[in-house]
Structures are given as structure tokens and as C-alpha cells.
């Protein structure tokens, strides 16, 4: 599967195994058809590198995490997911509807950038990881 213009940080299979989500340093997430390797969707909106992706157990939602520390360039927008602040690390995780791109939920509480996310097997909880208490930059 070729399509990202920078390193891929994270991958996640959809629960049915028919789609694969990827998170990249190129500030995008992508959804791929696993049978054909064809790109189905490019998720744009993070102004910084997308570090992590995770599907909900029902496969209807996709969560992304980013350090969001770069200016937002909306000059070539195919599918815009807005919400995170620009120019800093906003310490939130956001949940998006994977079909429409509508933001469903914002998780707050971290004091540092959110670097990883994972759904519980029942789809009712989302765990986040951050460098809140670390003196070192995360990557």
C-alpha cells in the first residue's frame, strides 16, 4: 500500500479485517481496502503528524491521535476533520465517524500530547496515552 508521503507511525485493522487504517508523519490518516490495497479515504485535518489510529470494535468509528504542533494548511482538503487547536499540543484525543468525518467526542484531561489510543473490546471505553509526566519529548 503506497500513498503516504512520510513515515507511517501506526496501523490498525478494522474488526472485520476488510479495512486497514494508517497514521502518518504526513499529517494524514488513511483507510485502505485490504483485498485490493486501494486507498478508500484520506483523513486530513490534523495540523501535525498523526501518531496513532484505532477502530471502534464495531468498525463504525475511527479515532486518531496527533501531536498537532504545526500550522494547519487547508489548501488541499479532501476530507476535513477539524477540532484540535493549531500551533501547540492540545492534549486531547478526538473520535470521528469514519464514514462522514463528523467529530463525535473530545477527550480532555491530559497535560501533554496524546500519543496513542486504543478501544476496549466492548467498544464502550477508549484508553489514551500521553507524555504527561515525562520530561522527555515523545516520538
Q: What is the pLDDT of residues 48-77, one digit of tens each?
A: 888 888 888 888 888 787 766 544 444 333
Is a pLDDT exceeding 90 seen at residue 36?
yes
Return d(Cα 108, Cα 91) in angstroms, integer. Answer: 7
Return d(Cα 79, Cα 73) in angstroms, integer. Answer: 13
Band of residue 136 on the pLDDT scale cut at 50, 70, 90: very low
Whether the model pTM is above 0.95: no
Q: Which residues of 5-41 are buried (b: 16+ CB within 10 A; e: fewer)?
A: eeebbbebebbeeebbbbbbbbbbbbbbeeeeeeeeb
Return d(Cα 134, Cα 110) in angstroms, integer. Answer: 12
For the domain with range 8-130, which CATH number is right: 2.40.30.10, 2.130.10.10, 3.40.50.720, 3.40.50.10420? 2.130.10.10
Q: What is the pLDDT of residues 88-119, one digit of tens each?
A: 367 788 787 767 778 888 888 888 777 777 77
Q: Are 63 and 51 in contact (CB under 8 A)?
A: no
Domain boundaries, the chain: 8-130
pLDDT at 67: 67
pLDDT at 68: 65
Amino acid at each position: 500500500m503506497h500513498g503516504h508521503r512520510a513515515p507511517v507511525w501506526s496501523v490498525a485493522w478494522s474488526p472485520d479485517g476488510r479495512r486497514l487504517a494508517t497514521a502518518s508523519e504526513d499529517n494524514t490518516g488513511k483507510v485502505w481496502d485490504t483485498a485490493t490495497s486501494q486507498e478508500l479515504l484520506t483523513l486530513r485535518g490534523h495540523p501535525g503528524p498523526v501518531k496513532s489510529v484505532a477502530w471502534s470494535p464495531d468498525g463504525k468509528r475511527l479515532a486518531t491521535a496527533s501531536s498537532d504542533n504545526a500550522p494547519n494548511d487547508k489548501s488541499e482538503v479532501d476530507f476535513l476533520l477539524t477540532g484540535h487547536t493549531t500551533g501547540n499540543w492540545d492534549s486531547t484525543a478526538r473520535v470521528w465517524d469514519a464514514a462522514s468525518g463528523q467529530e463525535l467526542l473530545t477527550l480532555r484531561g491530559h497535560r501533554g500530547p496524546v500519543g496513542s489510543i486504543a478501544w476496549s473490546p466492548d467498544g464502550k471505553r477508549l484508553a489514551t496515552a500521553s507524555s504527561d509526566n515525562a520530561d522527555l519529548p515523545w516520538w
